[in-house]
Structure 1
Amino acid sequence: MLQTEFLPHLRVRGELGKRLELTARQFTSREVYSAELITQDLVLHPDRRRTADDYSGDLSGRYLEAVALAAQLGFAPDWDLLRDVIDVLLPAQRADGSFGAADAALGGFDHGVVWGNAFLLTGLMELAELLDDPACPLGAHSAAVRAATARLAESLVLSVPRWLRWFTYSREREHKFALDFFAMLPPLTRWAEHTGDPRAVQAAQSLAAAVPPPDGPWHLHGYLTALRGKLGVAERFGADPAAAQEVLDAWNLVRQRYVLAHGGVRESMRQPMDLNTEGCGIADWIMLSIDLGRHFRDDELFDAAEIALHNALPHVQAPNGHFGCETLAADPGLLTEDYVPEAWWCCTFHGFRAMYHVAANAVRLERDAGGDRLRVDLPVPVATRIATSAGTATVEVTTDYPDREFELAVRSDPGLPWSVRASRFWSAGAAEVSRGSVRPGGSERIVGRALTWIDADGVPVHSLQLNNTDEHATWLGHGVCVFVGPVIQVLAAPHTGAGNVVAARTLHVAPDGQRIQHVAADGLAHLTGLVREFRAPWSTLRDHTWQPVAADDAVVRFRFAALDVTPFTPARPADHD
């Protein structure tokens, strides 16, 4: 485990905990990220150029956010590195409160500045809370960081009207990154809630009202960020009761048009499709699905998050913890040189952010006339503290889900009754099922089984373009997805020569003549005669040989020396913590 001086606010175990730790190891030390590499998007040193350093504050802001969130999980940063970053950041702020090239004209329509500054505002807000922790040795920087945060927020608030005017011109809306300025929406919503500044509230509301439907050629990371911000405005300041429904309607359109078989999204809405997915977009999809699920209390939204969590997100995480992209290619397993699926400057941090979001939103408190009750929305192994009407409860969820046979238990001190959202992917014995929840009471343990099923013709969450394998198979309708619980095991579709983003890390139909047979039942099918045991992508981390890359590598991504894309053999599920 990483060393820490903090008492963790949230502990995560199992495979999710392992993946969080792998990623935290990358950015909590200088081994990968030097201060010069992180802050290049703030100072733009001409001799240290790197990919996307014109996105002023993008990598540096995400770094600050990830370090602060990692501390809540008990992973302490390299304090000297963090101090060096702060010491470069503070004097780099420009006269108007923004960050960017020192010799550039202030204001204007620089997409890199508005996008990067938005993520930097998020990072500074998280950093300020970290610096206020009594265990933090950098507390002396707190006042200066809070002052810089306020100046940056003011700069973004003042920029909102001109960006909204810019967006009214149709020609400006026609390129992939036209939505970059909507990255301001989530941090300005949070800033407005924190400060109560009516100008910030108005800025957030005006941005939220301008979020378009998903009908342009836009970057999905940008679009889903805008939707997450719009939902936040609706929940905190919304005068329009229809706003949250508009976000849900947009979510459904994205699901129908741009979601792949593993539950993740393509990089953009451009047609013909971009030749890759992007870890950031997949992370946004998971977080938005969870937030909408909690808002509408809709199991289908949580189910979509589960599919992406257990399939799409692992697909873009490398064995060392970094997150990146996947390239679509006609040849099974081919991942092209220019989009190696390891690290992209933003994805490592945003992938970590999504996993943290899953853990932080796994358990919540429900309160009604009968008193307090714990509700487990996402069955992941976490330990956390929750404020109740009687004080603070320490809550621990233990489970090895999504193993085919799994157990789940909830313990709290003081003892509280609890319920678990009844996922469509599993069944539970000896427990009362009421209103979509398994309600075992105070201390009973659920013993469940992940259901084996096939998506044959279009269960809504999985009605996808299954042109992602060139393997021969028995075709059922337009395509076949075999799942055990939420974990995809087999993909098969007619040979089209089109991309196979999922197949490179997903089992193929067994080659020895075993078959999938279709038994119609409300759009589902049963699995017969296939492999007897399955192993999920979550349990396939293994050592690779890595090509050393210097911390100041100008490309800001890290390459496989040799990428193993051979489909793995079905085997017994790996043991989980």
Structure 2
Amino acid sequence: MKKVYGQLKNRIRKNRERLSAPEYCAPQIFLEGGDWPGDWQGRTILALASLYRAEDGEREKQNILHQLDDILDSLDEHTNEDGYFGELFDENSVNEQQLSGNSWFLRGLCAVYEIVGREEVLARLNRISERYLTKLAPSYLRYPTVKREEGDVGGHLQKIVTEGWRLSSDVGCAFILLDGITHTYEITGNKALLPVIRAMISKFSQIDYVRYNCQTHATLSGSRGVLRFYRLTGEQELLDLAKRNFELYFNYGMTLNYANFNWFGKPYWTETCAVVDSLIFAMQLFEITGERRYIEFANRCYLNALRVSQRPNGGAGCETCLNEKNDCLHSYIYEAFFCCTMRIAECFYELCEYGIIKRNGTSYVLLPFEMESEELSLSVTEHNEGRILDIKPHHRISHLCIYVPSHCKVRCSAGELKNGMLEFENIEEEVHIEERFTAFSERRQNRTVHMLGDYLLLKRDRSDQNCAFVADTFTVPDQASVEALKQYI
């Protein structure tokens, strides 16, 4: 059991407080969601299950379970006869947003089953699989790759039917279901899902995400489904596809502060859902490959994008896109309460899980949070030019690696710095590490950006010569302060 303290704990607690509001509880939760059947409900169930896993207080865990039970006990009143949200499947009029929304419903059900093992949840997953998911392969194989009309933050269905599809302005959101269907296969083991998963991945791999302005959130969620299927099958081509998609996102879908363009090629606003997807995706890729670049991305994404997205009320919002044509970072929407506020909860749980991991017999400290695992405890003291890490092993650790940012001077009585990792052998005593960051610049997207460790440095005024870390909007006083905050490259 891992425990977190300090800033991450505060963020989790505040998000939990936000998600206890009536719109995330039965019965009001079933009035929300609009044209995205199952989306609001599924994201909320997944968020609550994630918060349950991240929480170590028994009273709060029971409060979360009570909220979940109320939702689960009411599902039959609000789902169709086959167990999912919205109309029954029609192969001649496939609702792309219904597939996307019910993917989050599946993810939520799977997460709940993993923590409480309720048999009626498993029965619902099997019913949805047999009556809905197993029918989808022909539709996905003819998924139209066409330009779409532009949508707003919430997305909408287009009015015409194209090749049997009612398409969304969130281009490619049908492939969010790769995340839900692979999780469902992992839980149920239903082999009838395999042809559908393979058909979906086949079509997904053929799409030119950049040319067709696919939604980065959808592309990243689909790619995480591909990566889960790799873990279940061990097929190298799946890992290759996941790595390729990460590179496409990194090169064409990411802002200068490691957030996202809502669509490839359209740098209008960021979306915390995609920031969450990219962060989790990178951490999972590191766990599989051991390549340092993925965990560097995760650290930079957390410090410069995810922290920016969480609001003082515990929810999450959207920003402008820092890129070669826009030098100003500021709030675009204070809170995307219909999606991002829920999804950030899953990211918090995953940050808890990946802060300290064990891989191939080696223990890794990957993220700078105060936390404790079965093997060690980590305390972190941050200051303007670096940070201090104190690591206390609970028993002898044969091999320990600690992530160190680029351009960082390290002081430590033991350990050897190799390829951006501080390595220790047979460690039993407490270790004190001092990291001092060195300022440097990088050229990205035809802009020069200034860094200090993993922090992007921005100015509070275009004419100002002094730079500071990207502002953490969670720590500003209120909504007006967030909306007034502007920072410049």
Taking the aligned partners of 1:540 and 1:26, their CA distance within structure 2 comes to 13
Give the structure 2 partner of residue 395 of structure 1: 376
Using the size of structure 1 for normalisation, the TM-score is: 0.71
Residue 55 to residue 164, structure 1, CA distance change in 2 (3 Å) = same
Residue of 525, 537, 558 corresponding to 2:471: 537
**Cα distance, 1:156 vs structure 2:** 4.2
Give the structure 2 partner of residue 117 of structure 1: 102
Query: Is 1:484–2:442 an aligned residue pair?
Result: no
Query: Is 1:411–2:392 an aligned residue pair?
Result: yes
Taking the aligned partners of 2:64 and 2:447, their CA distance within structure 1 comes to 48
Query: Is 1:150–2:150 an aligned residue pair?
Result: no
Residue of 120, 126, 146 corresponding to 2:111: 126
Taking the aligned partners of 1:80 and 1:484, their CA distance within structure 2 comes to 44
Tell me if structure 1 keeps the 8 A contact 2:78–2:85: yes
1:450-489 alignment, distance < 5 Å: 450-456=436-442, 458=443, 463-464=444-445, 478-489=446-457
**Cα distance, 1:168 vs structure 2:** 5.5
SS of residue paired to 1:407? strand
Query: Is 1:437–2:437 an aligned residue pair?
Result: no
Tell me if structure 2 keeps the 8 A contact 1:30–1:81: no
**Cα distance, 1:452 vs structure 2:** 3.0
SS of residue paired to 1:193? helix
Taking the aligned partners of 1:98 and 1:416, their CA distance within structure 2 comes to 47
Taking the aligned partners of 2:407 and 2:3, their CA distance within structure 1 comes to 25
Residue of 11, 27, 34 corresponding to 1:53: 34
CA offsets per residue over residues 107-130 of structure 1, 9 Å max, x none?
540122211111101101112233
**Cα distance, 1:489 vs structure 2:** 1.9
Query: Is 1:37–2:21 an aligned residue pair?
Result: no
Residue 540 to residue 404, structure 1, CA distance change in 2 (3 Å) = farther
Give the structure 2 partner of residue 137 of structure 1: none
**Structure 2: which amino acid aligns with 1:419?**
C
Taking the aligned partners of 2:113 and 2:102, their CA distance within structure 1 comes to 16
Give the structure 2 partner of residue 3 of structure 1: none
Give the structure 2 partner of residue 73 of structure 1: 54
Query: Is 1:310–2:229 an aligned residue pair?
Result: no
Give the structure 1 partner of residue 203 of structure 2: 210
Residue of 24, 29, 49 corresponding to 2:16: 24
Tell me if structure 2 keeps the 8 A contact 1:266–1:274: yes
Taking the aligned partners of 1:26 and 1:294, their CA distance within structure 2 comes to 31
Residue 438 to residue 447, structure 1, CA distance change in 2 (3 Å) = same
1:85-484 alignment, distance < 5 Å: 85-101=71-87, 106=90, 108-132=93-117, 142-167=118-143, 176-211=169-204, 212-215=207-210, 216-239=212-235, 241-269=236-264, 271=265, 273-327=266-320, 335=331, 340-367=333-360, 372-384=361-373, 393-400=374-381, 404-417=385-398, 418-424=400-406, 426-430=408-412, 431-441=415-425, 442=427, 443-456=429-442, 458=443, 463-464=444-445, 478-484=446-452
Residue 564 to residue 178, structure 1, CA distance change in 2 (3 Å) = closer
Q: Which has the larger radius of gyration?
A: 1
**Cα distance, 1:454 vs structure 2:** 3.3
SS of residue paired to 2:475? coil
Tell me if structure 1 keeps the 8 A contact 2:455–2:470: yes
SS of residue paired to 1:361? helix
**Cα distance, 1:428 vs structure 2:** 1.8
Residue 328 to residue 310, structure 1, CA distance change in 2 (3 Å) = closer
Tell me if structure 1 keeps the 8 A contact 2:269–2:319: yes
Unaligned runs of 5+ in 1: 1-8, 41-49, 133-141, 385-392, 465-477, 492-506, 515-529, 545-559, 570-577
SS of residue paired to 2:379? strand
Residue of 2, 6, 12 corresponding to 1:14: 6
**Cα distance, 1:333 vs structure 2:** 6.8
SS of residue paired to 2:318? coil
Residue 400 to residue 203, structure 1, CA distance change in 2 (3 Å) = farther
**Cα distance, 1:320 vs structure 2:** 1.2
Tell me if structure 2 keeps the 8 A contact 1:327–1:341: no
**Structure 2: which amino acid aligns with 1:543?**
P
Taking the aligned partners of 1:208 and 1:402, their CA distance within structure 2 comes to 45
**Structure 1: which amino acid aligns with 2:216?**
L
Taking the aligned partners of 2:251 and 2:329, their CA distance within structure 1 comes to 25
Identity, % of aligned positions: 18
**Structure 1: which amino acid aligns with 2:418?**
S
Give the structure 2 partner of residue 575 of structure 1: none
**Cα distance, 1:411 vs structure 2:** 3.2
Taking the aligned partners of 2:4 and 2:270, their CA distance within structure 1 comes to 27
**Cα distance, 1:537 vs structure 2:** 2.7
Using the size of structure 2 for normalisation, the TM-score is: 0.83
Unaligned runs of 5+ in 2: 148-161
Give the structure 2 partner of residue 139 of structure 1: none
Taking the aligned partners of 1:412 and 1:296, their CA distance within structure 2 comes to 26
Root mean square deviation of aligned Cα: 3.0
